[in-house]
Copies of this chain bind each other. A is one copy, B any other.
Amino acid sequence: MNAEQPPIRIGIVGYGNLGRGVEAAIAKNPDLQLMGVYTRRDPGALQTLLAGTPVHAMEQLDSHHGQLDVLILCGGSKDDLPRQSPALAARFNLVDSFDTHARIPEHFAAVDAAAQAGQTTALISAGWDPGMFSLNRVMGEALLPDGATYTFWGKGLSQGHSDAIRRVPGVAGGVQYTLPVPAAVDAVRGGTRPTLSTREKHTRECFVVLEAGASAEAVRQTIVEMPHYFDEYDTTVHFIDAATLQREHGAMPHGGFVIRSGNTSAGNTQVIEYGLQLGSNPEFTASVLVAYARAVHRLHLAGQHGAKTVFDVPPGLLSAKSPAQLRAELL
């Protein structure tokens, strides 16, 4: 951190698990200053994680324009970000965690048009996947062009799959964990480039609380046969009571690996592995967003406008340290 630099002023837009994680992450970065949380809820009723975090109504954002260097958007990819990111990029630098992989090109195009017009810098799809895992997929392929890339997720709580089981008739509550299959991970680490089906890579494990009178077998059947979500996987369903669900399944762990194996010559196999073991998925995602907010501010000061992704950011810009300090201490 360069002592003479003023702090980078951050606004949090939206305040769920991710927003709370960003609030916690900013507190660990002394070169960043949290200017406030912007919410569509009643600002007076919002309980923030840290005492003293200012809370504002979303409508006040515009009038705070001159006091904010970068916004961190903490809404969802389905309903919030497709509208918010292009709208806000017209006037603010921002970072979002848009994670609907198939729709990234259109989201990028919409944000880029707004950011180019407004001469702002807007980084989309930060986090760990998309985000850190994407970086490792690109770098693995670039370093070992004659090779294969494998992404494994878990063990981790999947929000989308947990939501899906909670919509099954007869289910009062539940969570779903995604697990990599150890034999598949071992085969990939061995550098043999196996061909793996969806079923061979991951298993799914559900912990379900039944509604009174519901049939366990009928619920199990509905879950394991659910198209897209479960039918291509081996799924185990455990039935537990509400107290156990609350006591043992309240955390949001996640993680996984990106493994690239390849050959640099006929006789020599090389394996690159990037792995995450996350005690809290939203808090880690938030930490990534915060580091990229620092980079976005610097790119903006350097005159680099438009939409960006993690592929466009020199890694040194993520650090609070100066380039000379990074070369001396960490290269």
In the docked arrangement, what's the CA distance between A101 and B132, Å? Answer: 26
Confirm or deny: A286 has a beta carbon within 8 angstroms of a beta carbon on chain B: yes
Confirm or deny: A314 has a beta carbon within 8 angstroms of a beta carbon on chain B: yes
Copies of this protein, total: 2
Q: Are A275 and B275 in contact (CB under 8 A)?
A: yes
B residues less than 8 Å from A276 (CB atoms): 270-273
Confirm or deny: A105 has a beta carbon within 8 angstroms of a beta carbon on chain B: yes
Q: Which of A51-59, A214-222, A305-313 lies at the interface?
A: A305-313
Residue of B nearest to A291 (CB): B142
Given contacts A270-B276, A274-B273, A331-B130, contact A264 B283 (CB under 8 A): yes
Given contacts A280-B268, A315-B138, contact A327 B104 (CB under 8 A): yes
The one of B189, B311, B314 that contacts A326, using a Cβ cutoff of 8 Å: B311
The one of B146, B273, B311, B323 that contacts A331, using a Cβ cutoff of 8 Å: B311
The one of B138, B264, B316, B324 that contacts A284, using a Cβ cutoff of 8 Å: B264
Confirm or deny: A267 has a beta carbon within 8 angstroms of a beta carbon on chain B: yes
Residue of B nearest to A101 (CB): B331
In the docked arrangement, what's the CA distance between A326 and B101, Å? Answer: 12
Which applies to chain A's interface (DSSP): helix, strand, loop or mixed? helix
Q: Are B311 and A139 in contact (CB under 8 A)?
A: no
Q: Are A284 and B270 in contact (CB under 8 A)?
A: yes
Q: Which of A21-29, A60-68, A235-243 lies at the interface?
A: A21-29
Distance (whole angstroms) from the CB of A312 to the closest CB of chain B: 5
Interface string of A263-304 (1 = CB under 8 A from B): 011011111111111111001101110010010000000000
Q: Are A264 and B330 in contact (CB under 8 A)?
A: no
B residues less than 8 Å from A268 (CB atoms): 279-280, 283
Distance (whole angstroms) from the CB of A149 to the closest CB of chain B: 8
Which residues between 7 and 44 of chain A lie within 8 Å of chain B, taking CB atoms?
A: 21, 24-25, 28-29
Q: Are B283 and A265 in contact (CB under 8 A)?
A: yes
In the docked arrangement, what's the CA distance between A29 and B264, Å? Answer: 11
In the docked arrangement, what's the CA distance between A189 and B283, Å? Answer: 19
Confirm or deny: A169 has a beta carbon within 8 angstroms of a beta carbon on chain B: no
Interface size class of A (residues with CB under 8 A): 35 or more
Confirm or deny: A143 has a beta carbon within 8 angstroms of a beta carbon on chain B: yes
Confirm or deny: A119 has a beta carbon within 8 angstroms of a beta carbon on chain B: no
B residues less than 8 Å from A294 (CB atoms): 142
B residues less than 8 Å from A130 (CB atoms): 331
> Which residues from chain A sit less than 8 Å from chain B, CB to CB?
21, 24-25, 28-29, 101, 104-105, 108, 125, 130, 132, 134-135, 137-139, 141-146, 189, 191, 264-265, 267-280, 283-284, 286-288, 291, 294, 309-316, 318-320, 323-324, 326-328, 330-331
- Beyond the given pairs A143-B287, A311-B314, 10 more chain A to chain B contacts, judged by CB atoms under 8 angstroms and listed by A's residue number, are A28-B146, A130-B331, A138-B319, A139-B291, A270-B277, A270-B284, A273-B273, A309-B316, A311-B315, A314-B314
CB pairs A–B below 8 angstroms (22 shown): A24-B264, A28-B145, A104-B327, A105-B327, A125-B331, A130-B331, A132-B139, A138-B316, A138-B319, A139-B315, A141-B330, A143-B288, A264-B280, A264-B284, A265-B283, A268-B283, A270-B287, A271-B276, A272-B275, A273-B276, A309-B316, A311-B315
